[in-house]
């Protein structure tokens, strides 16, 4: 058998990388596998609530976490884990890059994926007007008219980022007021080129080769070139389901030590029942640290 890691973390966001930092400091041979180094935090153009860092971009924070984990000896590699099997008492993990790894313990930290509107044409206009990441695609809409669907923090921060790039930004929200924290709402109020449209849902996407207009269920139509969808996320639990990990309301059911119902498998971050009501980098990081600590104690007690 090839090299066997003490711990493999599946997912390279704040939960996974924090777990790797702690596990490596415990001298556990640690591997992190993920396709997006830094996870969804890299979608945030500005993070203002991570302790010790009053203001930092999401991509920079993600990179710093990765470098921190690597400094203590963790191996952070690209790869989407597609299959996990038990083999000779350990787990074998196969990635989309046809790489195979072996591990004694696993932390599932796969995070979430963006929720879609579910409209006809949504997939067709993806990359041609429809986006789920303002920091990724915002530069393509310089001096253009765009919309943001949603009313929580992610929608508010996306709109603020786009307001510095686009000519005009509409925030389209189904409720009668924003749910974002007051700090973001105050910033939005200062922007002359942000217009709020409440009690409305996007019901149709229109255009030719690219998006040109959206229709709302209040009877209005808005001419725009870009629509950024920020209506929350759903946990990525396909691997967990395949393994037989217990779910609760779509999230991985974990205890206070981040243990799942299966021996040698933990979970941390936005996919767990502990985090699903408050998805923040700091809570994800805390869960990763807790899981790594428990794994260290397990391995130490068995030696």
Catalytically active residues, by annotation: 133, 136-137
String of DSSP letters for 86-143: EETTEEEEEETTS-EEEEEEEEE---EEEPP---TTTTTTBTTTEES-HHHHGGGGTT
* CA-to-CA separations, 112 to 224, 238, 267, in angstroms, rounded: 28, 11, 13
Residue linked to tokens 């000896």: 73
* Bridge partner list, 233: 114
**Percentages of the chain per state (helix, strand, coil), in multiples of 5:** 30, 30, 40
CB 225 within 8 A of CB 211: yes
CB 90 within 8 A of CB 104: yes
């Amino acid at each position: 058998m090839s090299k066997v890691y003490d711990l493999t973390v599946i997912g390279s966001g704040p939960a996974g990388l924090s777990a790797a930092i702690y596990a490596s400091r415990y001298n556990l041979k640690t591997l992190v596998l993920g396709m997006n180094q830094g996870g969804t935090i890299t979608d945030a153009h500005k993070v203002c609530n991570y302790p010790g860092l009053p203001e930092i971009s999401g991509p920079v924070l993600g990179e710093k976490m990765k470098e921190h984990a690597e400094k203590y000896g963790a191996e952070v590699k690209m790869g989407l884990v597609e299959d996990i099997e038990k083999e000779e008492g350990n787990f074998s993990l196969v990635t989309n890059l046809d790489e195979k790894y072996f591990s004694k313990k696993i932390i599932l930290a796969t995070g979430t994926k963006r929720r879609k509107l579910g409209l006809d044409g949504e997939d067709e206009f993806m990359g041609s007007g429809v986006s789920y990441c303002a920091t990724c695609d915002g530069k393509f809409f310089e001096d253009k008219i765009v919309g943001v669907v949603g009313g929580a923090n992610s929608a508010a921060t996306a709109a603020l980022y786009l307001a510095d790039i686009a000519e005009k930004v509409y925030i389209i929200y189904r409720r009668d007021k924003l749910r974002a924290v007051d700090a973001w709402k105050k910033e939005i109020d200062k922007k002359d080129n942000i217009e709020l449209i409440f009690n409305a849902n996007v019901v149709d996407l229109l255009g030719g080769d690219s998006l040109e207009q959206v229709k709302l269920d209040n009877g209005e139509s808005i001419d725009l070139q870009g629509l950024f969808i920020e209506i929350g996320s759903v946990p990525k639990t396909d691997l967990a389901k395949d393994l037989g990990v217990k779910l609760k309301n779509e999230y991985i059911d974990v205890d206070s030590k981040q243990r799942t119902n299966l021996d040698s498998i933990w979970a941390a971050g936005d996919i767990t029942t502990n985090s699903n009501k408050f998805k923040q980098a700091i809570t994800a990081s805390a869960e990763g640290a807790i899981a790594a600590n428990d794994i260290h104690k397990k391995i130490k007690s068995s030696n």
